[in-house]
Amino acid sequence: MSERISAEAVTKVARLARLDLTAEEIERTTSQLAGMLEHFADIDALDLGDVEPMAQPYPLVNVFREDVIVPGLDRDEVLAAAPEAEHGRFRVPPIIGLDV
């Protein structure tokens, strides 16, 4: 298997993606991603210098809505589906290590 991706890189990606993977999962993912990236190297042979990237299939532009109020959702219905709610708001555990 190639050295296309390291376990350290996979650990960092798991942290970015907020996925708590076990050591065994990190190891397996590293090997699977390495295998895929090896396969995906097929496009390295293409000459893509002048090619415009394509992010969307159909070329639309300037799609708007008017600035008009549309009835929204009922707070009680929405909060009833929340894992935890209090005083009309969503409750979460302490926010640390996330400051932006």
Partner 1 sequence: MPGAIQIAAGVRNGSLKAIDVVEQHLAAIREREPEIHAFNLVLADEARTSAEAIDAAVAAGDDPGPLAGVPIALKDNMCTRGIPTTCSSRILDGWKPPYDATVVTKLAAAGAVVMGKTNLDEFAMGSSTENSAFGPTRNPHDTSRVPGGSSGGSAAAVAAGFASVGLGSDTGGSIRQPAALCGVVGVKPTYGYVSRYGLVAFASSLDQIGPFANTVADAALLLDTIGGHDPMDSTSIPVQHPSLAEAIEQGVEGLRVGRITDLPEGADADVNERVEVAFDALRAAGATIVDVQVPAFTFGLTAYYLIAPAEASSNLARYDGVRYGMRVEAADTNAMYGVTRAAGFGDEVKRRIMLGTYALSAGYYDAYYGKALKVRRLIHDEFERAYRTADVLLTPASPSVAFPFGSKGDNPLAMYLCDVYTIPANLSGHPGMSVPFGTGAHDLPVGVQVLAGTLCEPQMFRAAAALERAAST
Partner 2 sequence: MSARDGLPGDWQLVVGLEVHVELATVTKLFSGSPNRFGDEPNTNIDPVTLGLPGALPVLNRQAVELAMRIGLALNCSIRPCTFHRKNYFYPDMPKAYQISQYDQPLNVDGYLALPDGTRIGVERAHLEEDTGKSTHFGGTGGRIHGSDYSLIDFNRAGVPLVEIVSRPDIRTAEQARQYVTELRAILLAVEASDAKMEEGSMRVDANVSVHKPGTELGTRCEIKNVNSVRSIGRAIEYEARRQIDLLEGGDRVRQETRHWDETDGRTHTLRSKEDADDYRYFLEPDLVPLAPSQQWISAVRAALPMLPGARRARLAQATGVAPDSEAAMVVVDRGQDDFVLAVGTAGGDVARALVHVKEAWADSPSVPAADLARLTTMEVSGKLTATQAKAVVAELIANGGGDAAAIAEAKGFEAMAADDLGTYVDQAITENAEAWAKFCAGEGKALGALVGAVMKLSRGKADGKSATALLQARRDEG
Please state the closest distance from residue 4 (CB atom) to partner 2, in A: 19
Of 61, 62, 90, the closest CA to residue 76 belongs to 90
CA 31, CA 38: separation in Å to the nearest integer? 11
Q: Kindly tell me which residue out of 51, 68, 69, 100 binds partner 1, with binding defined by CB under 8 A.
A: 51
35 touching partner 1, by CB under 8 A: yes
Lay out the site mask for partner 1 across 56-85 (x = CB under 8 A, - = otherwise).
xxx-x--x-x-------xx--xx--xxxx-
* Tokens describing residue 36: 């895929």
